Amino acid sequence: MAHQRMEFTQAKIPESLFTTEHFSLIVDFLLNSTIPTYCASGIDNGNWMEDTIATIYTSSMGDESTNLDYISKWRWALAQVAQYCIDNRLRTPLGKPADTFLKLENEIRRLALNSLTRKPSGANGDSAANIKAEVLEKDEPTPKCLTVTRSRRGVAREDDEDSEADTNREPRQLSSAEQWWRVRALLETIELLDKLMSFACDGALFPLCILSQTSQQFFMTNEATCSGWMSRMYLMTMAVAYGNGHYEHVLRLGAGALRDAKKRIASAGNVSAVGDGQATDVKDLHPEVMDAAAHTCISWMVRSLVEMGRAQPIMGIYSWVKKVYRLRFQWIKYAADMAAGRIEAALDGLVNCANDAKQPENVRKTIRQLIITALSRIRNPEEMIRVWRALDGSHNSEEKLSATPKGFDDFVWSKLKGLVNFDPPGEVEKSEAVVWDVESRLRASELKLMQIARSFKKDSRNDIAELTKQLGEDARLLMLADTSLRTHTSASALHLLATAVKDSLKPTHKQMLSVNIIDPSFLFELDSGPCVDKLAIGQQLSSWFENCSNVNGISSLGVVSDERAFHLKMCRLARKTGNLRLADRQLRFHTAQRQAQSNGLMQNGWLPRTNKESNMAIANEVNNWDMLGAQEVISGMTLNSALETAKLLWAQCGSDPNGTLSHAEPFALLCDATADEVDRILYKNNAIFNGAPSLWAQCGSDPNGTLSHAEPFALLCDATADEVDRILYKNNAIFNGAPSVPPNALLPLLSHHYSKN
């Protein structure tokens, strides 16, 4: 049973007047997708979730002034449903204990089948089409309408006229967000039932609820049966939880499944296989055979941790597999790299593992799924071409890249290629097979948005308005129910893009550019969350900026105020996470937008190498920019570009066996840019360069003149000093240890460099 912590505070379940009618309302919604018409007036306006649960809460608790949001009240109702099952010893309106278990298991099994067979019609023949048709048919809400009065006891009352009206009413279908919450609520209900059964058998330091002695005796007597039922549900529930985006629940269930697998191996007589420290040498033992259930469990756990951006627990799973099964799965290490944000290194390793014919097919299938995840996160068309060629084992021309690599699903690959290349496939309308799978639904919505953005037709305004409304409802519910906020952030980013596309179709778009502007600084704070999520959202925005740009290279969406600075910061983020190829691409985007105004200051994404004949190139360009009236901003961007270019060059050099030659190049570029900036500052302020002391004294004594210009110069001097430190320390050129070069010591060096030129 799962004993790990929940994502929200698990308080003691209070006593209430929760009745059988209340239980039937909630369970009908969880198992049959039936909308509880407790407040019929709120059905059509979309407020039934708030109105229904508020009425149930008030009639059960008698406290109308409780300051709880409606999702908290829903979680209270789910806890009451679980306690109802415990108090009545699993004898519910669903039937006897076996019937109650069977109803829950059948719904989980159906949802798991729905999640694992997510293919378009006819993709795998008639059998797959029949399975999907059956699944979609069962997803429709039943026409049953249960009308309940608002009495305190919740007693049912039927009115002939109202009943006839309800029968004639066409049943309202659940929206995609409501279907997502239904599945999430079902998972939480089963987890609560598991916890309460464990509490009834073993007790707890802090009691979860008040149990009768009869209920405790019942579950202690039937502990083996209840535990067996939960163990049988592990894999199916993990599949549903992963599809629903409830990754923490996947890990809790996986922990229990792995404990069972370890016990099976120990019961087989292989004591050393479980790492008990016996005399048998592990190196002399052969690897254990991992069954399909254990591999599926490990695969889902690793993929869930990748989505959560947790690299260290993935390495813990690697160590566990090595100790228990004596297997060294290198793909788990590459998954840890992906979770840490090192997506390019992870792709290089995963491609090698996918091409290894010695790997079992189920392992290679997991590797392909991780490759799809990595490519969808990094969204680099150049990286996708490189991966395709590595998987294909050839260097075919661009025209042949449309073929799907061996082993990959055609439909999944076409959707991935549409997202990466901003070219959605034609069968997007058929892609929504699982409405409660929030991740796949968001990808399908983005593909639809790409189609609308590429069509530029007036009749698409209704489509974009409907899509924006749906994304807004999804983001609102995810914000309240998804406590991790990862999925909510993705939905909010897509809703922002949809709003920007909708506004771009309006005649007054130019006057509304400032409405959708956001501050993307949260993407570049490495200590505030997983880097892989920041890269994914940043690359999503960057892809839209690239494909919705005007003649000047600036996006027409108006989402960020300065796209040049955005691309430069994305370059820095990619460099710090080890994705150097992505950093190079982002720097090229940054440079391309500057070239539209500066007439080609950088060439092919790099600052030109200055020499004695051309060392005034940057200064001349800066002087030409003075006529634009934004000298300080443009100059600061120039220095930041030079600094980031130098650091990217340094990172690309790596370990240089030939000495300081390659590492000196970025430092030389930075020195040239600094010297030209000194020339610009002195030229503008009519100062006489008499050495470092006089320049620094002038900057300090003039509060209204050169002081503001000295700040970026001082920052750049600090960065240059750091580069000197790194060169001298790594190559042991002068010092035997790490030198400390103060910023002021660089000024005579720059003065000498300037006077020579």
**163 and 230 both lie in a single domain:** yes
**233 and 255 both lie in a single domain:** no
**258 and 393 both lie in a single domain:** yes
Confidence bin at 720 (pLDDT 50/70/90): low
pTM of the full structure: 0.77
Determine the average pLDDT of the residues in 137-142: 42
pLDDT at residue 58, rounded to an integer: 86
Cβ atoms of 470 and 175 within 8 Å: the answer is yes
**281 and 313 both lie in a single domain:** yes
Structural domain includes residue 661: yes
Determine the average pLDDT of the residues in 655-672: 56
Structural domain ending residue among the three candidates 193, 220, 241 = 241
pLDDT at residue 466, rounded to an integer: 83
**233 and 269 both lie in a single domain:** no
Structural domain includes residue 49: yes
**146 and 237 both lie in a single domain:** yes
185 burial (CB, 10 Å; 0-12 / 13-18 / 19+) is buried
Structural domain includes residue 441: no
**258 and 236 both lie in a single domain:** no
**107 and 187 both lie in a single domain:** yes
**113 and 51 both lie in a single domain:** yes
Structural domain ending residue among the three candidates 188, 223, 241 = 241
Structural domain includes residue 389: yes
DSSP 17: -
For 436-488, what is each residue's pLDDT tens digit?
A: 888 888 888 888 888 888 775 556 667 788 888 888 888 888 877 766 677 88
Confidence bin at 748 (pLDDT 50/70/90): low
**92 and 132 both lie in a single domain:** yes
Structural domain includes residue 448: no
**126 and 268 both lie in a single domain:** no
> In this structure, what token pair is assigned to residue 698?
């002038």
Cα separation, 24 vs 156, whole angstroms: 11
What is the dihedral angle through the alpha carbons of 97, 102, 107, 111, rounded to the nearest 10 degrees?
130
Count Cβ neighbours within 10 Å for each residue of 662-689 and write b for 16 or more, e otherwise.
Answer: bbbebbebbbbbbbbbbbbbbebeebeb
For 415-433, what is each residue's pLDDT tens digit?
A: 898 889 888 876 655 555 6
- What's the sign of the alpha-carbon dihedral 33, 12, 254, 490? positive
pLDDT at residue 502, rounded to an integer: 82
Domain range for residue 738? 649-757
Structural domain includes residue 37: yes
For tokens 């806890």, the residue is 79
Structural domain includes residue 442: no
Structural domain ending residue among the three candidates 403, 421, 439 = 421
Cβ atoms of 70 and 48 within 8 Å: the answer is no
For 88-120, what is each residue's pLDDT tens digit?
A: 999 999 999 999 999 999 999 999 998 888 643
Cβ atoms of 368 and 334 within 8 Å: the answer is no
Structural domain includes residue 128: yes
Total count of domains within the chain: 3
Cα separation, 415 vs 424, whole angstroms: 7
**44 and 166 both lie in a single domain:** yes
Number of alpha carbons in the 13 Å side-chain half-sphere of residue 96: 1
603: three-class secondary structure by DSSP: strand
The secondary structure of 133-200 as a DSSP string is: HHHHHHHSPPS----B---TT--B---HHHHHHHHHSPPPPPPHHHHHHHHHHHHHHHHHHHHHHHHH
What spatial distance separates the first Cα and last Cα of the chain, rounded to whole Å?
75
Confidence bin at 665 (pLDDT 50/70/90): low
